[in-house]
Structure 1
Amino acid sequence: MRIAFFVNSIADEAGFFTTTSLALAALGRGHDVCYLTPGDFVLRPDDSLLVRATSVKGAKAKKADTFVAALQSDQAKVETIPVEDIDVLFLRNDPSQDADERPWAAHAGILFGRLAADRGVLTVNDPDGLARAQNKLYFQEFPEKVRPKTLISKSIEEIRDFIDEQKQGAILKPLQGSGGKNVFKIASSKEANLNQIFEAVSGEGYLIAQGYLPDATAGDIRLFLMNGRPLQRDGAYAALRRVPAKGEVRSNMHVAGTAAPAEITPKILEVAEMVRPKLVGDGMFLVGLDIVGDKILEINVFTPGGLPDIAELHGVDLSVDVVIALEQKVEMRKNYAGKISNAVLATL
């Protein structure tokens, strides 16, 4: 089986990325691995779709940093191949990273992912599902019971009124965005710097204001779902608690958040079950939920990270389980010869 990982940029990949962990798991099970970026697709006049695939000569399962260094070095080879030579196209890019400087690249994975799926390549997460999830409005389509109280607006007056209604304060963040960029906690609408924060965040478009959840001071829980259900092996869940650094409202790892073990309670499983139907319906194969108490702060469908940290915390590499699931889907696709849609197959 050949798995192609679609990423923003090979030069920006790192050993601690979940994509790297998935690639090593695939190599460990004897599969071929290659990487694609937004500029690597070619649609020829005869309607054939090709990709410029980057791989490491003779790559084997090895240390993550060594693998990434080889991928970014002269050891890597680039070859143009028919997309049909790929069994799985795994879309693992973050559109928000390209939205400002390379807007043409932000949606390349979705656009060409559709073409790949039409040609029989298992494409996950399903491109049509990802198209519906390109900003945080997607979150509003899930049950109100699992969402914090939320306002979406570009009006400073609306936002001030909303903050005044929240006894614990509010969180402000851009509708488009990821990774904790431009996320602010506002205690009161009378804060002196609210106007400056509003100007900074609204420059990126609409704002989301959410009622602050006090439990968030202890961090959130990142829980992976695969095929709509919590990813786990023998009771070890693909989950961790992301603990924010002192004085930080964000728990993202790249802003000094740290990983700690997470207890997966019946309440958390109930929250996960509540969002399962839509995730399955949208063909969302691998998803990360960020949970505080009985509320979900984010549903990460593009590049949920944390599997290497989870492996270190629990001694269980659940990336292998993800690859095994892909193997099973490829076998199903062969058995049914196109009679099952990509969106359905993605979450079977």
Structure 2
Amino acid sequence: MRIAFFVNSIELETASYTTTSLALAALSRGHEICYVTPADFILRPDDRLMIRARSLNGTKPKKPETFISALKADDAKMSVVDVSEIDVLFLRNDPSEDAEGRPWAANVGANFGRLASERGAIVVNDPSGLSLAQNKLYFQDFPQAVRPTTLISKNIEEIRAFIDDHRGGVILKPLQGSGGKNVFKIKSSDEANLNQIFEAVSEVGYLIAQSYLPEATAGDIRLFLMNGRPLVRGDVYAAFRRVPAKGEVRSNIHASGTAEAAAITPAILAIAEKLRPKLIDDGMFLVGLDIVGDKVLEINVFTPGGLPHIQALHKIDFAEEIVIALENKLAIREAYGGTLSNRALATL
């Protein structure tokens, strides 16, 4: 099986990324892997879709650091490949990373991913589903029972009124974004710096105001779902608690959060079950849920990360289960002679 991983850039890939874990798991199972970035698609006049693929130059490293070094090396292999020769295109880019500096690149994965699926590649997560999830408005389509009370607006007076209605505090963040960037906790609409915060966040688009959940002081739980269901091996779930640094409202690892083991309760599994129907309908193969108490703060469908943290905590490499699931999708496609849609295959 040949798997192409679509990422924002080769330069920004690191040994700690979940994509690295997935690539190493694929190599260990005897598969070919390559990397593709937003500038690497070519649609030729004869309607063939080609990709400029970067792959390792004959090496099969086992350690993440060695793998990343080989991927970034000057002698890494570059080749132009017809997408019909790719079995799986795994979309692992973060559109928000490109939204400001390279807006042309933000939707490349979903757009060219759809063309790739039409030419025979299995594309996960399903590109048509991902096109619905270009920002956090996607979250509002899920059951209200699992969402914090939320306002989306660019009007400062609407936001002030929302803050006044939620005396326990409000979280302000951009509609488009990830990694905990520009996330603020507001205690009162009288805060002196509210206008500055509003200007900073609204500069890039709409704002989300969410009621603050007191349980968030202990961090949130990142739970992986695969094919619409919690990813689990034995009695260990692919999950961990992200604990914020002292005095920090964000629990993101990129924002100095730390990873700890998480207890997955029946209540958390019930939350995941409430989300399952839409995730399956949208072809979301691999998803990361960020859960606080009985609410989901975010649904990460583009680049859910954290598998290396889970492996460090539990000595379990869940990347192997994910690659096996891709192998199964390829077998199902062949058994059905290509008659199943990509969206159906994505969550089978």
Task: Give runs of aligned pairs for residues 30-41 of structure 1, distance below 5 A.
Answer: 30-41=30-41
One-letter amino acid matched to 2:185? K
Match of 1:134 in 2: 134
> What amino acid is the match of 1:153?
S
The offset of 1:61, in angstroms, is 4.3
Runs (4+) of structure 1 exceeding 2 A deviation are none
What residue in structure 2 maps to residue 94 of structure 1? Answer: 94
User: What RMSD in Å do the two structures reach over aligned CA positions?
Assistant: 0.6
SS at match of 2:11: helix
In the alignment, is residue 166 of structure 1 matched against residue 166 of structure 2?
Answer: yes
The answer to which of 269-278 and 58-67 deviates more is: 58-67
Q: TM-score, normalised on structure 2?
A: 0.99
Question: Where does residue 66 of structure 1 map in the other structure?
Answer: 66
Shift of 1:95: 0.4
Cα distance in 2 for residues equivalent to 1:110 and 1:161: 37
Q: Which residue is 1:228 aligned to? A: 228
Aligned to 2:200: 200
Once residues 18 and 161 of structure 1 are traced to their aligned partners in structure 2, the CA distance between those partners, rounded to angstroms, is: 40
* Aligned mates of 2:278, 2:167 — CA distance in 1: 31
SS in 2 for 1:11: coil
Equivalent residue of 1:123, what SS? strand
Query: How many angstroms does 1:167 deviate by?
Result: 2.3
TM value normalised by structure 1:
0.99
Q: Where does residue 114 of structure 1 map in the other structure?
A: 114
Residue in structure 1 matched with residue 295 of structure 2 by the alignment: 295
1:231-282 CA-to-partner distances (Å, cap 9, x unmatched) read: 0110110000000001100000011100000000000000000000000000
Cross-structure match for 2:48: 48
Letter in 2 for 1:123: V
Provide, for residues 143-188 of structure 1, a one-character-per-residue CA deviation record: whole Å limited to 9, x for no partner.
0000000000011100000001112100000001111110000001
Mapped to 2, the partners of 1:221 and 1:261 lie a distance apart of 9
8 Å contact from structure 1 (residues 28, 61) kept in 2: no
Q: What is residue 272 of structure 1 aligned with on the other side?
A: 272
Name the amino acid aligned to 1:324.
I
The AA in structure 2 aligned to 1:181 is: K
Corresponding letter in the other structure for 1:160:
R
Query: Which residue type is aligned with residue 292 of structure 2?
Result: V
Partner of 2:9: 9
CA distance in structure 2 between the aligned counterparts of 1:167 and 1:194, rounded to whole angstroms? 15
Q: Select between 25-34 and 73-82 the one with higher mean Cα deviation.
A: 73-82
Code of the aligned partner of 1:280:
I
How far residue 221 of structure 1 moved from its aligned partner, in angstroms, is 0.1
How far is the alpha carbon of 1:58 from its aligned partner?
1.9
SS of the residue 1:246 aligns to: coil
Q: Structure 1 residue 334: deviation in Å?
A: 1.1
- Determine the structure 2 residue equivalent to 1:185: 185
Preserved contact between residue 25 and residue 61 of structure 1 (Cα < 8 Å): no
> 5+ unaligned residues in a row in structure 1: which ranges?
none
Q: CA deviation at 1:75?
A: 3.1
Deviation at 1:338, TM superposition (A): 1.8
Output the amino acid matched with 1:210: Q
Report the counterpart of residue 219 of structure 2 in structure 1.
219
Task: Give me the whole-angstrom Cα distance separating, in 2, the residues matched to 1:59 and 1:262.
Answer: 36
Q: Distance in 1 between matches of 2:137 and 2:41?
A: 29
Match of 2:307 in 1: 307
**Structure 2 unpaired stretches of 5+:** none
**What is the distance in 2 between the residues matched to 1:211 and 1:172?**
9
Identity %: 70
Kindly provide the CA deviation profile for residues 89-116 of structure 1, in whole angstroms up to 9, marking residues without a partner as x. Answer: 0000000111111111111111110000
Give distance in 2, aligned partners of 1:188 and 1:98.
33
- Give the structure 1 partner of residue 245 of structure 2: 245
Aligned 8 A contact 1:221 1:239 in 2:
yes
SS of the equivalent of 1:299 reads strand
**SS at 1:10 equivalent:** coil
CA-CA distance at 1:59 after TM superposition: 3.0
Q: Deviations over 1:37-71 (max 9, x none)?
A: 00001110000111000000223241101100110
The whole-number CA distance in structure 2 between the counterparts of 1:313 and 1:61 is 23
* Local SS of the residue matching 1:168: coil
For the residue of structure 2 that corresponds to 1:50, the secondary structure is: strand
In structure 1, C-alpha distance between the alignment counterparts of 2:270 and 2:164, rounded to whole Å: 31
Tell me, what secondary structure is at the counterpart of 2:130?
A: helix
Residue 257 of structure 1: aligned partner: 257
Counterparts of 1:12 and 1:220, CA distance in 2: 26
Q: Which amino acid aligns with 1:261?
A: A
For these two proteins, the number of residue pairs brought into alignment is 348
Q: Which residue of 2 aligns with 1:151?
A: 151
The letter for the 1-side match of 2:325 is: A
Whole-Å separation in 2 of the counterparts to 1:61 and 1:310:
21
* Secondary structure, counterpart of 1:12 in structure 2: coil
**Which moved further from structure 2: 290-299 or 97-106?**
97-106
Matched-pair contact (CA < 8 Å) for 1:27–1:59:
no
Matched AA of 1:334: E
